[in-house]
Amino acid sequence: MISNEVGYNSKIEGEVIVTRADSVINWIRKHSVWPMPMGLACCAIELMASAASRYDISRFGMEVMRFSPRQSDCMIVAGTVTYKMAEVVRRIYDQMGDPKWVVAMGACASTGGMYRSYAVMQGVDNVVPVDVYVSGCPPRPEALLDAMMKLQGKIGNESSVSNLSKKPESFKVS
């Protein structure tokens, strides 16, 4: 029996768990990511596929796609961001409550992709701070799931408590 007591034992420690606030907050946050599906092109189809039964994004606790930025905390930019649309992407990002994260899904959202033209913004990171980039044109649902798990890892390492007292930094491209 002693060999099983590596973890928490209520008989010895009582009904108390000792941990760090960061760990708890991050654990809560990363298992309830509410994505904002910013579907702009064909990547949105793969985004829908990853939410459907075969790939099932809900296995990882982030299936609650909300079409209102005020209810979501992770914007998945899926598709080609034109200069005309970049304004809208930024405004929707501004309407999301902190803490918030951005995933650039696919070649177009990451770098402009094959659209090297006068109309297409060469990467959504020109207007919003991107946390995870996903390669592919479009990426398969597995790639998006991997990116979301990478994002969970990133959320897990944040200093959430000390960030609480900080002002949200205004974002500027270098």
42 binds another protein (CB under 8 A): no
Find the part of the chain contacting another protein (CB under 8 A) among 5-13, 34-42, 79-87, 144-152. 79-87
End-to-end CA distance of the chain: 58
Find the part of the chain contacting another protein (CB under 8 A) among 6-14, 50-58, 123-131, 150-158. 123-131
- At residue 126, φ and ψ (nearest 5 deg) are -70, -25
Q: In this structure, what DSSP letter does residue 41 have? A: S
C-beta of 18 vs 173, nearer to another protein: 173
- For residues 61-85, one letter each, b for 16 or more C-beta atoms within 10 angstroms of the residue's C-beta and e for the rest, the string is ebeebeeebeebbbbbbbbbbbeeb
Considering only residues 138 to 157 of the shown chain, the ones binding another protein according to CB under 8 A are none
Closest contact distance (angstroms) between CB of 137 and another protein is: 11
83 binds another protein (CB under 8 A): yes
Closest contact distance (angstroms) between CB of 114 and another protein is: 7
Tell me the chain's radius of gyration from C-alpha atoms.
19
**Residue 83 three-state SS:** helix
**Residue 135 three-state SS:** coil
- Choice from 4, 117, 165, 168 touching another protein (CB under 8 A): 117
Cα–chain center distance at 27: 14
Q: How many CA atoms lie within 13 A of 40 on its CB side?
A: 26
Closest contact distance (angstroms) between CB of 160 and another protein is: 25
Closest contact distance (angstroms) between CB of 109 and another protein is: 15
Considering only residues 87 to 106 of the shown chain, the ones binding another protein according to CB under 8 A are 87, 90-91
Which residues contact another protein by CB under 8 A?
83-84, 86-87, 90-91, 112, 114-122, 126-128, 170-173
